[in-house]
Amino acid sequence: MTTSRALFDLDSTYARDVPALSLPWPAVTAPDPRLLVLNEDLAAELGADPAVLREPAGVSLLVGNNLPDGVTTTALVYAGHQWGVYKPQLGDGRALLLGEVVDVHGRRRDLHLKGTGPTPFARGFDGMAAVGPMLREYLMGEAMHALGIPTTRALAVVTTGAEIERDRPLPGAVLCRVAASHLRVGTVQYAAASGDHTVLRALADHAIARHFPDAAHADQPYLELFRRVVDAQAALVARWMLVGFVHGVMSTDNTTISGETIDYGPCAFMDAVDPATVFSSLDTTGRYAYGRQPSILQWNLARLGESLLPLLGGDGADAVEEVLASYPAAYERYWAAGMAAKLGLSTPDPALSTDLMALLHDQHVDFTTFFRVLAAGTARDHFLDREAFDAWAARREALLPADRAAVATEMNRVNPVYIPRNHLTDAALEAAEQGDLTPFHRLLDAVSSPFDERPDLEEYGKPAPAGAHPHVTFCGT
């Protein structure tokens, strides 16, 4: 017991600041917990000794069992619009907050356990998670982190020894997720809908103190909070767009206040450019398609703005509208600046970037590969319509700085070679399910250093072979 205490100094400012939004709840007992993957770098960043985490008491803590004295797991409550439909009570149906840790850099991080059994918010679902989807979340989070994109990360995946029912019996697992916080737009929606403005205010104060402390000194701190979230999220979704990431389920409960990417379910990286790309079998209307992500985010942020209205006073609605109206330009700025870096330009050229996306779409060019071959000077070979490429390339040439070698080096610093491509991810998870983690670790290794081309990983930098089935993730997560 004391070992676990020494592992992490767990705190719970959220439960103390906003008690109405946490429900103490125990994890089910895992019959035979075994550590499958441990993120040693992240453990060290959290101030924990990986060797101690591997011991029985450590593994037990990672599934929420045999908690040290004074530690209580809690299910967090929230609401949210899923597929545009408001659900007044969601919450952690299968996850528990273990506590908060201040990491070696002084940042407060949540430790959250996913797959710990049903909570009162489970809505009839089983509260369990299968090993495949939890490894998927681990891999995606690490890939995004290595790309420099704000994201929750995985500390560990532990198999529980329980079998869970999906379309076939699957091994159960618990993912230990590390996040700047688990405050979601849906959390604010829930607090607003409760009608108790003291809860809403306490939540907003907690969010400010935790994520945007200097907003407390603004003339209107709650409006400033809204502004900061809008800005952080605009920056985030631009980053997604710049690497071809499709989240898949941009419900308001999957939009964070911190500006981190959260909840990797039916998500994936686009291969050939197509704004209509979706990966979720549930997304039949393309609501969360690649090209719609920036506008869906604005819709989600509008839900945040309206939830904050009770704190904003008389002209709050106008102020919220004004902030929302500034979002498209803010997004465009982030995107255009990111595209400039990808293209090796010192100044953004939005028209050149937009025209490129249309050209890549028209010519079915692999998004990730394009920027690397552009830096290498061999992009032309990837187009059927070479004149169309030449015309675009001439416009870019005219804008390039003189030192071309430096341009290529800079481009290769921001354009990945390795992303968790769908066919590689699927193969790695399938092997893992059969007990072979070698492909998983190899892919994890590749995507953890995404900009460094390595000869031994050649096949990891290539798009799916022609004729491969289009990838779809089913939501049986």
Catalytic residue among 110, 231, 253, 349: 253
State the nearest-atom distance from the C-beta of 93 to ligand AMP, in Å.
Answer: 2
Binding-site ranges for ligand AMP (CB under 6 A):
90-95, 118, 122, 125-128, 249, 254, 263, 265, 477
| 94 touches, from ligand AMP, Mg ion, none (C-beta below 5 to 8 Å by class) | ligand AMP
Closest CA to 5 of 62, 64, 54, 70: 70
CA separation, residue 400 to residues 107, 346, 392 (Å): 39, 8, 13
Do the Cβ atoms of 11 and 57 come closer than 8 Å? no
Is 253 a residue of the active site? yes
| 231 touches, from Mg ion, ligand AMP, none (C-beta below 5 to 8 Å by class) | none
Q: Phi and psi of 81, rounded to 5°?
A: -90, 115
User: Does residue 92 interact with Mg ion by CB under 5 A?
Assistant: no
State the nearest-atom distance from the C-beta of 170 to Mg ion, in Å.
Answer: 20
Which CB, 87 or 421, lies closer to Mg ion?
87
Any binding-site annotation on 127? Answer: yes
Any binding-site annotation on 415? Answer: no
Closest CA to 12 of 23, 3, 4: 23
Do the Cβ atoms of 140 and 267 come closer than 8 Å? yes
Looking at beta carbons, which residue is closest to ligand AMP? 93
Q: Give the residue carrying structure tokens 């004295």.
A: 69
State the nearest-atom distance from the C-beta of 265 to ligand AMP, in Å.
Answer: 5
Distance of CA 388 to the CA centre of its chain: 35
Contact positions with Mg ion (CB under 5 A) in 199-218: none
Any binding-site annotation on 366? Answer: no
CA–CA separation, 226 vs 243, rounded Å? 26
Which tokens is 438 given?
């070698």
User: Does residue 263 interact with Mg ion by CB under 5 A?
Assistant: yes
Which CB, 86 or 362, lies closer to ligand AMP?
86
Q: Exactly one of 65, 189, 233, 254 binds Mg ion (CB under 5 A); which one?
A: 254
Helix or strand (DSSP H, E) at 22: strand 22-24
User: Does residue 260 interact with Mg ion by CB under 5 A?
Assistant: no
Any binding-site annotation on 186? Answer: no
Which CB, 52 or 122, lies closer to ligand AMP?
122
Any binding-site annotation on 87? Answer: no
Any binding-site annotation on 263? Answer: yes
Please state, as a whole number, how many other Cβ atoms lie within 10 Å of the Cβ of residue 459: 10
Alpha helices in 157-283 (DSSP H): 185-193, 197-211, 221-243
Query: Exposure string (b/e) for 77-100, b if CB count within 10 Å is 16 or more?
Result: bbbbbbeeeebeebbbbbbbbbbb
Query: Which residues carry out catalysis?
Result: 253
Residues tagged in the binding site annotation for Mg(2+): 254, 263
Residues tagged in the binding site annotation: 91, 93-94, 114, 126-127, 177, 184, 254, 263
